[in-house]
Chains A and B, each alone.
Chain A
């Protein structure tokens, strides 16, 4: 158990819909990272927040948005969903601002999103 929690574990929705994925980082961690993992794309970095502020942006679609709240939990909002958005979405956290060094991030169990 990494100490990072994600809800829900599974989500099935229809094309065109909007969903919100939630992540609670480990106690004391200030950074939250969101990743998408699909069968054909591997693990893709989406976005990072550090202590409430956006710190880095990866290949995140404009239909996706995220935020980190004062209590440090984070939400990833996916809208106008398409079939291709079906994937595992992971949240990770770290104590500091772990940048491209990829240094010790703790990953949650993921949310499996299925768009039908």
Chain B
């Protein structure tokens, strides 16, 4: 199971683009990369999932280089409400859910 490494915390300002990088050096061929967002005392919320290259939805983009050993979650023009913990997950969609590991996440703080 691929282990992920993320920065413990990041700070930014409203209106800026924020990029959070997740390292997963031993990612396997069948592994997907998934990002969740969690506000205090709330359950995590799915943001985006990808396998390779770039995935974009209405809230974020996910950039995955060719070697897939890392991925970057990009949040465009952040606001105060984007202050949260962001988790990077890596796992094989055909493996047991018992392999789901949320890790410590990245605590993102947005300032005015």
* Interface residues, chain A, with chain B CB atoms under 8 Å away: 2, 4, 33, 42-45, 48, 55-58, 88, 90, 92, 97-110, 112
Contact = CB atoms under 8 A, between A and B. Distances in A.
Nearest to A96: B93
Given A45-B97, A45-B98, A58-B98, A102 B34 contact: yes
Contacts, number: 94
Contact of B97 (A2, A99, A104, A112): A99
Contacts of B108: none
B46 interface: yes
Contacts of B31: 101
B77 interface: no
Interface of B: 1, 31-32, 34, 36, 38, 41-46, 49, 87, 89, 91-105
Contacts of A108: 43
A96 B38 CA distance: 22
Q: Which of B44, B89, B101 has the most CB of A within 10 A?
A: B44
A58 B97 CA distance: 8
Contact of B32 (A43, A48, A90, A103): A103
Given A42-B103, A42-B104, A43-B102, A100 B46 contact: no
